[in-house]
Structures are given as structure tokens and as C-alpha cells.
């Protein structure tokens, strides 16, 4: 006798914000970007595709197409869907990765990161090194 199983539908288990956040975080860590897009589609399905389409400013068919297999949606589309879902991406450093030895930020970037915006767009004013024979 042969057994038949119903296909697994992850959206049936995505019933609260903590589970959704953990699911999307795990999917984002996979090196294959299609895994994250599939997870985003599962979450949108769990929340209601029509509602997510409306809240993100996309048509329902466009949302299905953007999150479908083999799709390559623009960052703006993914960002709009994330906003509609009430989640956001966060970038964190790997604990095992350390900055490259001898790596320095430019003064403009350091000032910008400290909140001083006056140096944005200005060149770093370090003296130029001249090569011998040039």
C-alpha cells in the first residue's frame, strides 16, 4: 500500500511575529537568495497576499510574480513587502569576522558615523604620496 502526503505549507505555522522573524532570519542566512524570497512568499501568504499587496503598493499578481520561483525582484520591491509585513532587515557583523588588519576608515566616513555630516561629499585631505620616477 502506498502512502500519500499533503505538501508541506510553512505558511500554516507562521502565526506570530516572533516565529515570522525567526523564519525570515534563518532564510536570509542561506547563501541561495531564492530561499529568502520563498520564505518571504510564505510569510506574505500567511498574512494574506491581497492585504500585503495593498499595503506594499503592489498589485496582487505583481506580488506573486516578485516572490515566485526564479524571480529577481528589485530591492525596492522586497523593501516594500518587508514594510507591509511589519518587519525590517538588520545587518550585523559576524562575531568570528574581525576587521582587516591595518584597515582604516576615511576621516569623512568616521565623521559621518559620529553624526558630523559636514564632511559628507568632501574628499579626505590627506597629502598625496608621489611615486619616485613618475
The count of domains in the chain is: 1
Whole-structure pTM over 0.75, yes or no? no
- Kindly state whether residue 45 falls inside one of the protein's structural domains: yes
Examine residue 113 and state whether it is found in any structural domain, yes or no: no
Q: From first to last of the 134 residues of the chain, give the pLDDT tens digit.
A: 788 888 889 999 999 999 999 999 999 999 999 999 999 999 999 999 999 999 999 999 999 999 999 999 999 999 999 999 999 888 888 876 555 555 555 565 556 566 655 544 555 455 556 566 65
C-alpha cell at 21: 522573524
Domain hosting 18: range is 10-85
Answer whether residue 110 is part of any domain: no
List the one residue out of 43, 8, 16, 51 whose CA is nearest residue 27: 43
For 20, half-sphere exposure in the C-beta direction (CA atoms, 13 angstrom radius) is 20
Q: Looking at the domain assignment, is residue 122 inside a domain?
A: no
Amino acid at each position: 500500500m502506498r502512502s500519500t502526503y499533503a505538501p508541506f505549507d510553512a505558511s500554516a505555522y507562521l502565526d506570530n511575529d516572533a516565529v515570522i522573524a525567526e523564519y525570515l532570519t534563518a532564510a536570509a542566512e542561506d547563501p541561495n537568495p531564492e530561499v529568502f524570497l520563498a520564505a518571504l512568499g510564505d510569510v506574505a501568504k500567511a498574512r494574506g497576499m491581497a492585504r500585503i499587496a495593498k499595503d506594499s503598493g503592489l498589485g496582487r499578481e505583481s506580488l506573486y510574480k516578485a516572490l515566485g520561483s526564479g524571480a529577481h525582484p528589485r530591492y525596492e520591491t522586497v523593501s516594500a513587502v518587508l514594510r507591509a509585513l511589519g518587519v525590517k532587515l538588520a545587518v550585523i557583523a559576524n562575531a568570528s569576522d574581525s576587521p582587516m588588519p591595518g584597515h582604516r576608515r576615511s576621516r569623512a566616513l568616521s565623521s559621518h558615523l559620529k553624526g558630523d555630516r559636514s564632511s559628507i561629499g568632501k574628499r579626505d585631505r590627506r597629502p598625496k604620496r608621489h611615486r619616485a620616477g613618475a
